[in-house]
Amino acid sequence: MSNRELVVLSVGGVRFVTRASTLQQFPESRLAQMLNDDDREFKLVNGEFFVDRDGTLFSYIMDFLRTLQVSLPTDFSDYQRLQREAEFYGLYPLADLLSQEHLLKPRLEILEVRFSLQEMQAFFRIFGSCSTTVETLAAQITVFAGQQSGQSWNSPFPSQKPLVPLPLERPSHHDMAFQCGTDYSAGDQFVARYVSIKPDNRKLINGTNVLGLLLDTLLKDGFRLISTGTVSSEEKVKCYSFERMKRRVGLTVAVNQTPGSSGVAQAKRSQVQKGK
């Protein structure tokens, strides 16, 4: 059969159309051999291969054959059943990867925002279990400072004087700290700090407004607010706790073929950073 020809499979009543070359990714698998051999598990009916197996799980197997990567939904839980299906089709590299369930399961990510108001200043500190998320969030937040005069800290617009971006405090890879508001220096002069959080272009000086924008940004990024509380009643430090499920790694398979070999595929474990 030519690699350019299309193959139609009906798996448990679910119809799949693919190229022969896709099914031949692993020459020793039953899917590759069914194109040439008479396998009683695969009935050729009206030009379609019928197999009495789970069609929903087979969609993940087809995705693996097309991408050579294990990619499962966040709420996926049928690892043993999918491994059993992979073994049935003779896709042992996939079955081997599925046996490493601890690598494939999504990870619970925790983020904590602490916020306090002190006179005309607001202080923020963010802790995250995933350093990559903290780094990404730190790249979105910019603090601008400038010497101002005759303004209230609730003024919605910064002075026309140039504002200077300030680096965030980074005590560790897992947390950051910044502040906004005004701090009087001498006379009617004071230092004003504005906060901007991408993709929003506004420069906000009011701490409550910055907090609202920060929480909204986290919710849009897939986090879920799980609790609010007060860390210190004396200092009035409020704490907002978030969580989200995040799949961090993917596992890929490399197909090693040498001249004269049967093209045996071997699993190659490599960690691939995923999106949120």
Contact in structure between 146 and 164 (CB atoms under 8 Å)? yes
> Does the structure show a pLDDT above 70 at 262?
no
Range in 2-6, 75-79, 104-108, 150-154 the model is least confident about:
150-154
Predicted confidence (pLDDT) per residue in 119-142, tens digit: 889 999 999 998 989 999 999 999
Give me the pLDDT at residue 225, please.
Answer: 95
Q: Tell me, what's the pLDDT at 253?
A: 59
Instruction: Of 17-26, 72-81, 140-149, 224-233, give the range with the top mean pLDDT.
Output: 17-26
Per the prediction, the chain carries an average pLDDT of: 82
Note whether 113 and 215 are within 8 A (CB).
yes
- How high is the pLDDT of residue 247? 59
CA angle, 109 as apex, 104 and 114 as ends, to 5°? 175
pLDDT score recorded for residue 104: 73
Helix locations, the chain, DSSP H: 20-23, 30-33, 55-67, 79-88, 92-98, 101-104, 131-140, 207-220
pLDDT for position 113: 97
Q: Domains in the chain, ordered, with CATH?
A: 6-105 (3.30.710.10), 109-150+158-245 (no CATH)
In the chain, % of residues over pLDDT 70: 78
Name the maximum alpha-carbon separation found in the chain: 93
Residue 176 pLDDT:
96
Amino acid 2: pLDDT: 45
Is it the case that residue 63 has pLDDT exceeding 50? yes
51: phi then psi, degrees, rounded to nearest 5: -135, 135
In the block, which residue shows the tokens 């490493």?
100
